[in-house]
Amino acid sequence: MPDYYNVCPYCGANLDPDEKCDCNKKYEMEMKKVEKMLTIPKKKGRQISLRLIDLK
């Protein structure tokens, strides 16, 4: 007899049959926030900066 629920291979959440986990979407949204805060200089030898004011 198969299990009633499925387990997300990424976050381990218990999902109902035919339910899709949105953990990847949440991860991608958080990564976009972090990328927006980072300032990576174009010149070699410069320091990477992080704008913490955007962290909300």
- pLDDT band for 3, please (50, 70, 90 cuts): low
* Bridge partners of residue 26, in order along the sequence: none
- Model pLDDT for residues 7-56, shown as the tens digit of each residue: 998 899 999 988 999 998 888 888 888 887 777 777 776 777 777 665 55
Strands (E), 1-56: 6-7, 14-15, 38-39, 49-50
Q: Is 5 helix (H, G, I), strand (E, B) or coil?
A: coil
> What is the reported pTM?
0.48
> What does the CA dihedral 32, 37, 43, 44 come to, rounded to 10 degrees?
-80
The contacts of residue 19 (CB under 8 Å, 6+ apart) are 6
